[in-house]
Amino acid sequence: MLDLLDKLYEQNYLTKEEIVYILKNLDDAHKKILFDYSHSTRLKYYGNKVFMRGLIEFSNICKQDCLYCGIRASNRKVDRYRLTPDEIIECCREGYRLGYRTFVLQSGEDFWYTEEILTGIIRKIKELFPDVAITLSIGERSEEVYRNLFEAGADRFLLRHETASRHLYEKLHPTMNFDNRINCLKTLKKIGYQVGAGFMVGLPEQTAEDLAGDLCFLKELEPDMIGIGPFIPHRETPLKGSKGGTVEDTLVMLAFARLLVPDCLLPATTAMGTLHPKGRELALKVGANVVMPNLSPTAVRAKYELYENKICTGDEAAHCRQCIERRINSAGFEVDMGRGDSLKSRNSMQRV
């Protein structure tokens, strides 16, 4: 076991079979070594900085029907909302005043926001705040739309692959197509976005082989960002009675991601904080280096409920910003309010 962990640390690579072996045999002593290695790697590449992103959840309307998601199209109990372009811009104004230099615009797959509306929002943000980065997380669109949004000024795109297992993906996403999902990620990368992928830990029927497949997929894709969080069941979904993922298993996946793709940006997710009072701090200590406090209007935050008992839904943006900064500092890290581009993208820009 130790020789495999050493190989992972020194070479940033393992075969799928080697990853499966570790996952099935990882005891507490070797887990500590894994976490020490991932923390050390994070310090080597990014130091002790944690990048802050301002998250704006601008619509909880979604045409898809993913079995695990609280805002799935079939959930008739969701109080649906859409922010207007002006409301989104106002969230950015508040975020900029608070020091944020990256805005993450996230929604369900809501096609009310046409290419024209989205490009208008992006151009307006860049006009008002030319020094910020814009990250989109809006699901699947055509290559033409992705390209036009990029040309309008979008810098990054988050599109979790959710699971690299075709079987699991098709079972959990009855309205979606596995190949299309993977092709979207490749298209986004080809266009020039800083791309984020990622997956959930603890899905029903998910195996060690599935998780190893996710990690190998990420190693092959080499994304700029990797989002990994625990599966948390929602009472209004078909998976409401399922056992959820755990903080401990998610920490192991975060550590692997840091070691396999050492220059990636790795969020400490709100879902981790939902499952454990110090879940985000624990994630930071095994290699995560991004947090995304919420800038959405407090009136709509509780309505963007992908999973149950989501934290921080009632906090004002300023309080949220101060709270998470205190938490980051208490865990031994330093807040960085800059754009926080990935090392991969910085190196690419320098070569150009």
Residues 211-221, mean pLDDT to the nearest whole number: 98
The pLDDT value given to residue 351: 39
In CATH terms, the superfamily for domain 49-246+290-351 is Aldolase class I (3.20.20.70)
**What are 254-294's pLDDT values in tens digits?**
999 999 999 999 999 999 999 999 999 999 999 999 999 99
Residues 6-21, mean pLDDT to the nearest whole number: 98
Greater model confidence, 345 or 164: 164
Residues 329-351, mean pLDDT to the nearest whole number: 87
DSSP string, 149-168: HHHHT--EEE---B-S-HHH
Percent of the chain with pLDDT over 90: 93
Q: List the structure tokens of 201.
A: 């830990």
**What are 291-326's pLDDT values in tens digits?**
999 999 999 999 999 999 999 888 888 888 899 999
Reduced to 3 states, what is the DSSP secondary structure of residue 177? Answer: coil
Percent helix, strand and coil across the chain, each rounded to 5? 45, 15, 40
The pLDDT value given to residue 314: 85
Reduced to 3 states, what is the DSSP secondary structure of residue 196? Answer: strand
Is the pLDDT score of 352 beyond 60?
no
Residues 53-73, mean pLDDT to the nearest whole number: 98
Name the pLDDT band for 20 (thresholds 50, 70, 90): very high
Name the pLDDT band for 347 (thresholds 50, 70, 90): confident
Cβ proximity of 271 and 230 under 8 Å: yes
The pLDDT value given to residue 346: 82
With tokens 């999973």, the residue in question is 307
List Cα–Cα distances, 283 to 14, 248, 257, in angstroms.
22, 10, 12
The pLDDT value given to residue 140: 98
Please list, in sequence order, all residues whose beta carbon lies within 8 angstroms of the beta carbon of residue 276, skipping any fewer than 6 positions away. 247, 282
List Cα–Cα distances, 307 to 125, 187, 256, 276, 346, in angstroms.
29, 29, 25, 15, 34
Cβ proximity of 2 and 21 under 8 Å: no
The pLDDT value given to residue 349: 60
Q: List the structure tokens of 345.
A: 């993208």
Question: What secondary structure letter does DSSP report for 237?
Answer: S
Q: List the structure tokens of 76.
A: 């008739």
The pLDDT value given to residue 319: 83
The pLDDT value given to residue 152: 98
Average confidence score pLDDT of the chain: 96
